[in-house]
A and B are shown apart, each in its own frame.
Chain A
Amino acid sequence: MKKLKVLTILLATVLVTMVAFWGIYVPIQNRMENKVKDYSYMMDLKGSRNITLSVDKTNKTTIKDSEGNEVSDADNLTEEELSEKGYVKEETPYNNEEDLNVNNYKKSKDIIEKRLKELKVEEYNIRLDESTGDILVQIPENDSTDSIISELSEKGEFQIIDSETKEILINNNDIKLVNVMYGSDSSTSTTSSGTIVYLNIEFTKEGSDKLKDITNKYVKTETAEDSEEVSENVDISDEEDTSTSEKKVTFMVDEQELFSTAFDETIETGKLQLSMGNATTDNENLQENITQATNMAVILNNGQMPAKYTVGGNEYILSDITNNELNIISYVVLGITCIALILLIVKYRTKGLLGVISYIGLASIFLLLIRYTNVDLSIQGILGIVITLILNYMFIYKIMSNIKKEKGKTIGENIKESYKESFLRIIPICIAIIVFCFGGWAYISSFGMVMFWGIVLIATYNAIVTNLLFRINDNK
């Protein structure tokens, strides 16, 4: 009976080990596919998208009339038509020479880093070439990578200008905070027509005063029948204003005109809500609007970059740590573990063998657990696996040495004693691991999460399996 129980545990261990190390293969469309989830690797083991942001050295073309005022609707005119009308083309660099200095490059790098943090990118590398101002950003490859890249090169210059005179009325310095809000849209009818996403801009004290003045000055004088009744809400997609007004303001981001509008009433709260897209019930559209608004909020929240950048290079480069190298590390760990386990058998004979069976079982379950708990593995994560295996070895060794030393006590008492002695000694390590899990940096979290699951498994697995194995063996 005793042998049968041990054999059952042994077979279960062999099964789990086979699944963990080789997987479960099933035939799918004339090929064998492993149904066991693969490890999820981080940037240092998998590869990264490398984006080079280069300082924009190009010129922008502006067309001015004879009085030196910028003409906005002359882009399609031929050279002859321009000269007929007395317009002149002017080439000005996007970045002034005096703005291109190390301090501004560093500021740009800091802004990009802040944007990455606010976009919840938890693993990235940023390097600055102080001589050219070029910034190399490395981020992981996933579904949101392209969206993130598009936000990195934006200058983030926000302006509300007078549509006619182009006078700047409000700029980035007047913004206190930008966030995203959404709610049901009931502006067009009594019933809700879907969810609408707003970009909520909160202005500073000075900015609020400016906004109050603007909304006093740029008022709709004549309103169409179906015009919106929303006072503080301005629809960013509503480019064709149904109202006629004498004076309008234009919202600009990075010198791109978003829309022109006038206000229904004075805004005294210092808050302005711009609707992003139309109200929608479609989840995909809603998500798109939220992403667009969030990205805009991230850009505006972190200030304006002192220099304009363009995406110079954008490519996915695999890690220089190849699968072969990872295999070598695995074999080394496996080799050392085998030697340590053999030593355990030599020293403790039958109990040592049971300890080894238990140890292999834990190692296999641990490798499966890492895969199914979606822990991303980095070099630190691999270290977490190694430390967990060491801790488990020390724990099993402690149990066996206690059993050998305290022959008067029962197996249960010895295991309880081993738990007390071992876990009291790793409480500071456990504290560190919990902090690392929430460390805010993906690499340290990877280590923390691996170790967290490792210690939880050591505590539970040994209480069940190791305990059972030794009890069965002791039950003569």
Chain B
Amino acid sequence: MKKLTKKIKAIFIILAIVIIAGIAVVATKGFNIELSMQSNNRVELNIEKDFEIADIKNITNEVFQNNEVIIQKVEVFEDTVSITAKEISEEQKEQLVEKVNEKYSTELVSDNIEIKHTPNMKLTDLIKPYIFAFGLSSILIVLYMMIRYRKLGAIKVLVKTIIGIAISQITLFSIIAITRIPVGRITIPIIIMVYLGTLFVFTNNCENRLTKLKKEEK
């Protein structure tokens, strides 16, 4: 028992360090937002023939010195490429056009190609649509847990479940901030995974304790 307490203490200390470090990183550097959600620049090059994303990637690696870019095909014929980067200068645009012309024997003119600006997507806009689903499911789950595990102490279960869900999510965000994992489309699936994982661990734990209690009562 004493050993277990030590183990739990160690886990809490590690979690506290991770959370504090996470808060510090968010306060100083913020989250690393993925390029598609950041304010960015985009150019479209109408190649008018089939092309491979990998070939365009080689070109953008040369022009943008391996900085992150998003390459997408445009419209139904998929013969136009959209290149998105954090910043695209006139010079980089010219280089892109030149290299694409060289590769695909096209006659694109840099002056005719516009650098389009895409505004950033706010983190709140990313999270907002999920609040209702997560909120409602958490309330229903906590109610279920309080009823199902009332023998373990309804209030205790309530507090533990809420704190458990909250700590797991805060720790996750801290890890995301510290490791600089880009926040974007992949973030919500990670949140769901940790959320369901936490629920499973808690239910498993409560179920084991309830079984043990029932056995002791017998």
Q: How far is the CA of A318 from the CA of B79 in the complex (A)?
A: 11
B198-213 interface code vs A (CB 8 A; 1 in, 0 out):
0110111001000000
In the complex, what residues of A have CB within 8 A of residue B137's CB?
431-432, 435-436
In the complex, what residues of A have CB within 8 A of residue B189's CB?
379-380, 382-383, 447
Taking Cβ atoms with an 8 Å cutoff, the residues of B that contact A are 36, 53, 70-76, 78, 82, 116-122, 125, 129-130, 132-133, 136-137, 140-141, 144-145, 148, 185-186, 188-189, 192-193, 195-196, 199-200, 202-204, 207
Taking Cβ atoms with an 8 Å cutoff, the residues of A that contact B are 44, 47, 52, 125-130, 134, 136, 313, 315-320, 322, 324, 379-380, 382-383, 387, 421, 424-429, 431-432, 435-436, 439-441, 443-444, 447-448
Q: Which of B75, B118, B144 contacts A431 (CB 8 A)?
A: B144
In the complex, what residues of B have CB within 8 A of residue A319's CB?
72
- What secondary structure prevails in chain B residues at the interface with A? helix
Q: Which of A380, A425, A426 contacts B188 (CB 8 A)?
A: A380
Tell me whether B204 and A425 are in contact (CB under 8 A): yes
In the complex, what residues of B have CB within 8 A of residue A316's CB?
74-76
Q: A127-B118, A322-B53, A447-B192 are in contact. Are A440 and B132 (CB under 8 A)?
A: yes
In the complex, what residues of B have CB within 8 A of residue A134's CB?
119
In the complex, what residues of A have CB within 8 A of residue B36's CB?
320
Tell me whether B133 and A431 are in contact (CB under 8 A): no
Q: How far is the CA of A134 from the CA of B118 in the complex (A)?
A: 9
Q: Which of B119, B144, B199, B203 contacts A128 (CB 8 A)?
A: B119
In the complex, what residues of B have CB within 8 A of residue A431's CB?
137, 140-141, 144
Q: How far is the CA of A325 from the CA of B72 in the complex (A)?
A: 13
Q: Find the B residue at minimum CB distance from A436.
A: B133
In the complex, what residues of A have CB within 8 A of residue B116's CB?
52, 313
Distance from A216 Cβ to chain B, minimum over Cβ atoms (Å): 46
Q: How far is the CA of A310 from the CA of B144 in the complex (A)?
A: 51
Give me 10 A-to-B residue pairs in the complex whose CB atoms sit less than 8 angstroms apart, sorted by A's number: A125-B125, A127-B118, A380-B189, A382-B189, A387-B196, A429-B196, A431-B141, A436-B133, A440-B133, A444-B188
Q: How far is the CA of A225 from the CA of B176 in the complex (A)?
A: 76
Q: Find the B residue at minimum CB distance from A113.
A: B125
Q: Find the A residue at minimum CB distance from B211.
A: A421
Tell me whether B188 and A443 are in contact (CB under 8 A): yes
In the complex, what residues of B have CB within 8 A of residue A320's CB?
36, 70-72
In the complex, what residues of A have CB within 8 A of residue B200's CB?
425-426, 428-429
Q: A424-B207, A425-B203 are in contact. Are A126 and B125 (CB under 8 A)?
A: yes
Tell me whether B204 and A435 are in contact (CB under 8 A): no
Q: How far is the CA of A319 from the CA of B53 in the complex (A)?
A: 12
Q: How far is the CA of A387 from the CA of B189 in the complex (A)?
A: 11
Q: Which of A126, A427, A429, A435 contacts B133 (CB 8 A)?
A: A435
Q: Find the A residue at minimum CB distance from B204.
A: A425
Q: How far is the CA of A142 from the CA of B73 in the complex (A)?
A: 18
Q: How far is the CA of A236 from the CA of B188 in the complex (A)?
A: 47
